[in-house]
Amino acid sequence: MVSFLIGLLFTLAILIGAVILFIYIVIPVIGHIFTFVGRLFRFAFQEIRDMLLVPLALFICLIKLLRATICIVFARWDIVSVEIDAAKRRFLEAYNRTVSVFVDNPLRLFGIDSVKQKQTPDYVQQVRPELDGVIQEIKHVVGENKKPENKFKGYTVVGTLPPGGSGAKLYITKPHNGSSRAVIKCFDISDGSALPQIVRESRSMEAAKKLGLIIEHHLDNERFWYAMPFHDGDHLGVVTTSMHGTSSNLNNKNLRTILLYQQTLLQTLREYHLAGLWHKDVKPDNIIVHDNRAHLVDLGLVTPLASAMTLTTHGTEYFRDPELVRQAMRGVKVHQVDGSKFDVYSAGAVLYFMLENTFPPHGGLSGFSKNSPECIRWVVRLAMADYDKRYVSVEEMLADIETILYAKDVSRVRPADLPSMNTKSAVLGNVVSKKSVRPRTTPSTGGGPFKQEKNKTKPVGILAAFIIGAMIVYATTSTDEPSITPEFVNTTTSLSIFDHQRPGGRVLLLENCAMASNPKLCGEQVSDIVEKLITHGWDIVSDEQLDARARVWMPEEINNITEVASKLEREQLSGIIVFTESANTTLLAKIIEPTQSTTFAFSTQAN
d(CA 95, CA 97): 6
E strand or H helix at 358: none
Backbone angles phi and psi of 293, in degrees to 5: -125, 150
Residue 604 pLDDT > 60: no
How distant, in Å, are the alpha carbons of 289, 294, 340, 364, 391 from that of 347? 15, 12, 11, 12, 11
Q: What is the pLDDT of residue 352?
A: 95
d(CA 236, CA 416): 30
| Residue type (1 letter), 395 | E
Q: How would you classify the pairing of strands 216-219 and 223-229?
A: antiparallel
Average pLDDT, stretch 592-606?
74
Q: Which residues contact 85 (CB under 8 A, 6 or more apart)?
A: none
Among 184-198, 445-459, 518-532, 583-597, where is mean pLDDT lowest? 445-459
Residue 472 pLDDT > 70: no
> Does a structural domain hold residue 565?
yes
Q: What is the pLDDT of residue 378?
A: 93
Handedness of CA 254, 259, 262, 267 (dihedral sign): negative
Q: What is the pLDDT of residue 488?
A: 55
The three-point CA angle 152-155-156 to 5° equals 100
Length of the chain: 607
| Residue 343 CB burial class (10 angstroms; 0-12, 13-18, ≥19) | buried
CA atoms within 13 A on the CB side of 460: 0
Q: DSSP characters for 201-256?
A: HHTTHHHHHHTTS-SEEEE-SSEEEEEEE---S-BHHHHHHHHHTT-SB--HHHHH
Backbone angles phi and psi of 371, in degrees to 5: -70, 130
Give the whole-number percent of the chain exceeding pLDDT 70: 75
Whether residues 192 and 290 fall in one domain: no
Which domain CATH number covers 341?
Answer: 1.10.510.10
Whether residues 224 and 250 fall in one domain: no
**Number of domains the chain contains:** 4
The answer to whether 156 and 176 are in contact (CB under 8 A) is yes
Residue 305 pLDDT > 80: yes
d(CA 268, CA 554): 31
More confident position, 184 or 140: 184
Cβ atoms within 10 Å of 469's Cβ, excluding its own: 21
More confident position, 119 or 320: 320
Among 208-212, 410-414, 498-502, 528-532, where is mean pLDDT lowest? 208-212
Whether residues 317 and 332 fall in one domain: yes
The answer to whether 498 and 572 are in contact (CB under 8 A) is no
Q: Which residues contact 198 (CB under 8 A, 6 or more apart)?
A: 187, 189, 219, 224
Q: How would you classify the pairing of strands 223-229 and 182-188?
A: antiparallel
Whether residues 188 and 282 fall in one domain: no
Residue 256 pLDDT > 60: yes
Q: Label residue 174 by pLDDT band (50, 70, 90).
A: confident
Among 386-395, 441-450, 501-510, where is mean pLDDT lowest? 441-450
Average pLDDT, stretch 337-356?
94
The answer to whether 280 and 343 are in contact (CB under 8 A) is yes
| Helices (H) then strands (E): counts for the chain | 18, 15
Whether residues 46 and 139 fall in one domain: no
User: Residue 278's beta-bridge partner residues?
Assistant: 303
Residue 331 pLDDT > 60: yes
Average pLDDT, stretch 49-75?
89
> Does a structural domain hold residue 26?
no
Q: What is the pLDDT of residue 463?
A: 63
Whether residues 378 and 510 fall in one domain: no
User: Residue 226's beta-bridge partner residues?
Assistant: 185, 217
Strand, helix or coil at 33?
A: helix
Residue 64 pLDDT > 80: yes
Mean pLDDT of the chain: 78
Q: What is the pLDDT of residue 485?
A: 40
Q: What is the 3-state secondary structure (H, E, C) of 492-517?
A: ECCCCHHHCCCCCCEEEEEECHHHCC
> Does a structural domain hold residue 159?
yes
Domain interval for residue 93:
35-118
Q: Which of the listed ranges 31-45, 470-484, 489-503 does the model predict with the highest average pLDDT?
A: 31-45
| Residue type (1 letter), 554 | M
| Residue type (1 letter), 294 | A
> Does a structural domain hold residue 186?
yes
Q: Label residue 562 by pLDDT band (50, 70, 90).
A: low
Whether residues 483 and 598 fall in one domain: yes
> Does a structural domain hold residue 14?
no
Whether residues 211 and 262 fall in one domain: no
Q: Which of the listed ranges 57-61, 490-494, 515-519 does the model predict with the highest average pLDDT?
A: 57-61
The answer to whether 431 and 566 are in contact (CB under 8 A) is no
Among 5-19, 364-378, 446-460, 515-529, where is mean pLDDT lowest? 446-460
More confident position, 119 or 584: 584
> Does a structural domain hold residue 438?
no
Q: Label residue 192 by pLDDT band (50, 70, 90).
A: low
Among 28-32, 210-214, 261-265, 530-534, where is mean pLDDT lowest? 210-214
Residue 241 pLDDT > 60: yes
Q: Label residue 454 by pLDDT band (50, 70, 90).
A: very low
Q: What is the pLDDT of residue 449?
A: 33
Residues 127-169: tens digit of each pLDDT: 555 556 656 655 555 444 444 445 788 888 888 887 766 668 8
More confident position, 488 or 482: 488
| Residue type (1 letter), 431 | V
More confident position, 577 or 519: 577
| Residue where a domain terminates, one of 197, 229, 261 | 229
Whether residues 485 and 598 fall in one domain: yes
The answer to whether 209 and 194 are in contact (CB under 8 A) is no
Q: What is the pLDDT of residue 149?
A: 47
Whether residues 243 and 197 fall in one domain: no
Q: What is the pLDDT of residue 459?
A: 52
| Residue where a domain terminates, one of 88, 118, 148 | 118
Give the whole-number percent of the chain exceeding pLDDT 90: 20
Q: How would you classify the pairing of strands 587-592 and 596-602?
A: antiparallel
Q: How would you classify the pairing of strands 216-219 and 293-296?
A: unpaired
Whether residues 220 and 285 fall in one domain: no
Among 247-251, 255-259, 328-332, 532-536, where is mean pLDDT lowest? 247-251
The answer to whether 158 and 183 are in contact (CB under 8 A) is no
d(CA 168, CA 533): 56
Residues 399-447: tens digit of each pLDDT: 999 999 988 888 888 888 899 887 544 444 443 433 333 333 323 323 3
| Residue where a domain terminates, one of 395, 421, 447 | 421
d(CA 527, CA 291): 39
Q: What is the pLDDT of residue 194?
A: 65
d(CA 34, CA 265): 61
Which domain CATH number covers 218?
Answer: 3.30.200.20
Whether residues 180 and 80 fall in one domain: no
Q: Which of the listed ranges 146-150, 175-179, 312-316, 356-360 does the model predict with the highest average pLDDT?
A: 356-360
> Does a structural domain hold residue 5?
no
> Does a structural domain hold residue 445?
no
